[in-house]
Amino acid sequence: MIIRAKAPLRIGLAGGGTDVSPYCDNYGGCILNACINMYAYATIEPRNDGKIEFCCEDRNANKIFDSVDKLEINNEFSLLKGVYNRIVKDFVKKPLSFTLTTYVDAPAGSGLGSSSTLVVAILKAFQEWLNLPLGEYDLANLAWSIEREDLKMAGGRQDQYAAAFGGFNFMEFKGDKVLVNPLRIKKEYLNELEFNILLYYTGTSRLSAEIIESQVKNATNKNKVAIDAMHNLKKSAYDMKEALLTGQVDRMGILLNEGWENKKKMSSSISNSVIDNIYNTATNAGATGGKISGAGGGGFFMFYCPHNARYKVIPSLQELGGEFRRFRFTNIGAESWTVN
């Protein structure tokens, strides 16, 4: 028997960073994101030799452990161990023996929520194998708890919920409460967005935790510039939701540009000279706006190129050494299946 699961990665459109405590605890946060057809995959193959094997195929890493109630958390396979430990603790109450193989379509630190999406995919595979009673909210909240509480990893809440639900979602955060509002966007608007949005990988990854910790520090210390920027980012999520639902798709470029200017005020680590050069090159070639997807510092850039501007933006950015990734939006969240 083979159990498989996959969960979609996401691009953040507006409101990024307002889902991180303490800002969302004090003021409430809002995020607008969309899932795309790039995925995190997890495969479980049960075994009966008292061993646990982890195989991370995208990182060419694997290791075998003895099957125990709780695996030691260190600097290797932390996400996989964290999921296993919670599954044993919360559900099965005994050691399990299996091989877990994972793969993610985007590099770690790329800004598409790959780490959180992988946790959701692994949990979904365990849910399929063990018939666990987990709905979308349960799945996302458990993934968040494993990362933020068990593993003490800095970050927000949007990635886990995007991976669990799929689609375009307007999310509201207030303390521990999360409300996911799926958006029904007309097909012609989605087609235009897919044509006009370019996803550009800068070729560099970043440690999002360090950038998020800087944002948290600014929010905790009530840094006025950073707090005001987060207020503006939250407002942009409402503005972009209205634009997408009413078909004002070309307004996205303007809102992305406003969001990028505000995002850079949240932390000095979000941009640098290389990123600024990429952004200026794209806008000089015809893009009306863009932003780093995720915390910042590197990873994937998203640019809005209205009309036929993509045909000038693409060759301009190719000269800088990055690469473009084709994508489609997907309405399907985490899913699993069994192969007998």
Active centre residues (catalytic): 159
Rounded to whole angstroms, the Cα distance separating 205 from 196 reads 24
**Backbone φ/ψ region at 297: left (φ over 0), alpha (ψ -120 to 50), beta:** left
Counting every residue, how long is the chain?
340
Rounded to whole angstroms, the Cα distance separating 11 from 199 reads 9
Give the DSSP per-residue string, 241-286. HHHHHTT-TTHHHHHHHHHHHHHTTT-TTS--HHHHHHHHHHHHTT
- Secondary structure of residue 111 in the 3-state scheme: coil
Determine the longest span between alpha carbons in the chain, in angstroms.
60
Q: At what angle do helices 136-144 and 158-165 cross, to 10 degrees?
A: 150
Q: Is 262 exposed, middle or buried (0-12, 13-18, 19+ CB in 10 A)?
A: buried
Q: Is 243 exposed, middle or buried (0-12, 13-18, 19+ CB in 10 A)?
A: buried
Rounded to whole angstroms, the Cα distance separating 201 from 302 reads 9
The residue among 266, 273, 172 whose CA lies nearest residue 221 is: 266
Bridge partner list, 33: 12, 169
- Secondary structure of residue 324 in the 3-state scheme: strand
Give the DSSP per-residue string, 28-71. -EEEEEEEEEEEEEEEEEE-SSSEEEEEETTTTEEEEEE--SSP
